[in-house]
Amino acid sequence: MKAQDSFKLLAVDGDDGSLEDIQACLAEGELIVATASSGAEAMRILEFSKVDLVILDIQIPDIDGLSFLQYIQEQFKDIEVIMTARSPSVRDAVQAIKGGAENLLAKPLQPHELLAAVNRLAGKLTQRRALLPQSPPPETYGLIGISDGIRNVIERIERAATINANVLIHGESGTGKELVARAIHYRSDRAAARFVPVNCTAIPDTLIESELFGHVKGAFTGAKDSRAGFFQIADGGTIFLDEIGDASLNLQGKLLRVLQNKEIHIVGSSHVRKVDTRIIAATHKDLPAMVQKGLFREDLYYRLDVVDIYVPPLRERPDDILPLVNHFLHRFAREMERTTPVFSDRALENLQRYAWPGNVRELENLSQRLLVNTDGDTIDTSDLPETMRRITLTSTEGLQSLATVEAAHILRVLAAVDGNKTHAAKILGIDRKTLREKLKRLTSAG
Ligand SMILES: Nc1ncnc2c1ncn2[C@@H]1O[C@H](COP(=O)(O)OP(=O)(O)OP(=O)(O)O)[C@@H](O)[C@H]1O
Ligand SMILES: [Mg+2]
């Protein structure tokens, strides 16, 4: 059985001994067993992870087991339940089965009985899964990462994809803002139309209108043909306004007008055209501060900042470094048709301590450079750029407390003067009484 075929099981019992018995009994097999010792805890687990099967005791501390069975049946109709009870009455058994449980097992549990019941249900679940349409792998839109920071970003992408509101993505350079914008577009119902990236720094002021809204032939000197603007190209789709913080006030004004009127004037034409484009903007700048200083239009800011997504810098999510670097190494190694090297523990530590001013882009570039410059199976500290190697010197590893250093120094001085405290105190620059006290504390400490 492959990992994704395994079943997640939750055992709910007020008695720790029973939970341990269940875990021990099911430890073999492809089963992931979570435990909860109260109904409240079980509810939390059910809500946050996909459980397939619950082993539920009829007597849990905070809620009646049969009521809890009913709750599961109502809230999670795909979950199968096995109930357990110490000396169950016939009435209990009847109610459990009527309530939708597969069966009711008497405690102490007999391992073979429990296993048989679980296996029967696992068979039922496998059949049910086979009937389901092939579910796609968990969607992460090419966004690699396991940190809470990236999970939060993914959650916000999901939400943004279901609505049509404008989005403002902010975060340092190289954190993945464009990747986030693309993910939103391709997850939204605009996916069939175009995603059009526009770099706001790259539009010359004189060409803004023509670039955004297009022009007709002969609209101005040099307009030999008519040309579509970004807003026409992205009609029905998404415009990605990159580096919006660098947009000139002129450009800001033009953008605001389209956002307000949802229509464009094609340069040189007297027609007004309706457009339906969603705006996703991104910046590494502090827009609210720019608004304060009058460098960014407040009305435009509020039009853009309907959904706000912050992509945290890599140094704030060091858990993502290993999955990311493995992903990039693997990708480049495949391109270069060589095996993917691994990092030595020491080298990995260096990567995790490094501040990554260039964020994921810097990590991506490093991965490529490492593959070009090394040919072994292992990447060691010595293969890393100087700036990353030096980190170890500032690492806290092996650094001692002041008290430890002081104690060692006092003992060294004392040894040098054959235990002569007057002499030692003089060298140490303290009086004899202070030295005596320090020594007393030292010897009593161990
Ligand atoms: N979580 C991630 N998983 C995989 N690749 C990533 C991730 N984040 C960023 N990248 C990659 O890192 C590079 C930089 O990302 P991107 O261009 O989206 O950053 P950015 O925030 O737009 O940067 P800038 O502000 O400099 O434009 C891209 O090649 C992108 O594919
Ligand atoms: Mg970018």
Q: What is the pLDDT of residues 285-301, one digit of tens each?
A: 999 999 999 999 999 99
| pLDDT over 60 at 396, yes or no | no
Nearest CA among 91, 110, 121 for reference residue 8: 121
Ligand 2 centroid to Cα of residue 175, in Å, is 8
Whether residue 197 has a cis bond before it, omega within 30° of 0: no
For a pLDDT cut of 90, what percent of the chain falls above it? 46
- pLDDT for res 135: 40
Contact 279, 168 (CB under 8 A): no
Number of Cβ within 10 Å of residue 206's Cβ equals: 10
Strands (E), 17-134: 31-36, 53-57, 59-60, 63-64, 80-86, 103-107
Ligand 1 atom nearest residue 320's Cα: 1
Is the shortest distance between the CB of 57 and ligand 1 below 6 Å? no
Index of the ligand 1 atom closest to the CA of residue 284: 25
248 lines ligand 1 (CB under 6 A): no
142 dihedral zone (left: phi>0; alpha: psi -120 to 50; beta): left
Token pair for 247: 């947009």
Cα(419) to ligand 2 centroid in Å equals 67
Our answer on whether the CB atom of 364 is closer than 6 Å to any ligand 1 atom is: yes
Q: Which two tokens stand for residue 338?
A: 């060589």
User: 197 vs 33, which has greater pLDDT?
Assistant: 197
More confident position, 440 or 28 = 440
Nearest to 238 by CA among 157, 181, 310, 295: 181
For the segment 240-252, the average pLDDT, to the nearest whole number, is 95
Query: How far from chain centre, in Å, is Cα 29?
Result: 30
What does residue 279 show for φ and ψ, rounded to 5 degrees? -105, 125
Select from 369, 379, 373, 377 the least CA-distant residue to 344: 379
How many A from CA of 85 to the centre of ligand 1? 54
Measured CA to CA, the distance from residue 437 to residue 266 in angstroms comes to 87
CA–CA separation, 147 and 312 (whole Å): 10
- The continuous run of DSSP H or E covering 156 comes out as helix 148-162
Q: Which residues, listed in sequence order, are joined to residue 82 by a DSSP beta bridge?
A: 55, 103
Q: Is 247 in the pocket of ligand 1 (CB under 6 A)?
A: no
Q: Please report the pLDDT score of residue 356 as a whole number.
A: 94
Q: What are phi and psi of 399, to 5 degrees?
A: -80, 140
Predicted local confidence at residue 270, as pLDDT: 84
State yes or no: pLDDT of 244 exceeds 80. yes
Which of 173, 175, 315 to probe ligand 1 with, by most ligand atoms within 8 A of CB?
175
Which residue's CA is the nearest one to ligand 1's atom 10?
176
Residues 69-81 have a mean pLDDT of: 89
Nearest residue by C-alpha to atom 18 in ligand 1: 176
What average pLDDT score do residues 416-432 get?
A: 87
**Residue 159: phi, psi to the nearest 5?**
-65, -45
Single-letter code of the amino acid located at 326: N
- CA 176 to ligand 2 center in whole angstroms: 7
Q: Using CA of residue 381, residue 386, residue 387, residue 393, what is the dihedral sign?
A: positive
Residues 184, 141 contacting (CB under 8 angstroms): no
What tokens appear for 203 in the block? 């539009």
Instruction: Determine which residue's CA is closest to atom 28 belonging to ligand 1.
Output: 361
Classify 194 in phi/psi space as left (phi over 0), alpha (psi -120 to 50) or beta: beta
Amino acid making up residue 409: H
Q: What is residue 443's predicted lDDT score, i.e. its pLDDT? A: 62
pLDDT at 175 over 90: yes
Q: Cα(379) to centroid of ligand 1, in Å?
A: 24
The answer to whether the CB of 388 is under 6 A from ligand 1 is no
The pLDDT value given to residue 131: 60
* Mutational pocket test of ligand 1: of 151, 356, 361, 368, the residue with most ligand atoms within 8 Å of the beta carbon: 361
Q: Could you give all domains of the chain from N- to C-terminal order, each with its CATH number? A: 3-131 (3.40.50.2300), 148-310 (3.40.50.300), 316-394 (1.10.8.60), 402-445 (1.10.10)
Whether the CB of 317 sits within 6 Å of ligand 1:
no
Atom of ligand 1 nearest to the CA of 150: 1
Q: Round to whole Å and give the CA distance between 183 and 136.
A: 16
What is the pLDDT confidence band of residue 439, given thresholds at 50, 70 and 90? confident
Report CA(267)–ligand 2 centroid distance (Å): 29
Mean pLDDT of the chain: 86
Residue 379 φ then ψ, to 5°: -105, 125
- CA-178 nearest atom, ligand 1: 18
Q: At what angle do helices 432-445 and 402-416 cross, to 10 degrees?
A: 110
Residue with tokens 């809204």: 213
Predicted pLDDT of residue 156: 95
CA distances from 168 to 201, 286, 288, 290 (A): 17, 12, 12, 15
CB 102 near ligand 1, within 6 Å? no
pTM for the full predicted model: 0.61
Q: Is the CB of 190 under 6 A from ligand 1?
A: no
**Closest ligand 1 atom, residue 169 Cα:** 21
For the segment 217-230, the average pLDDT, to the nearest whole number, is 83
CA atoms of 203 and 201, how far apart (whole Å): 6
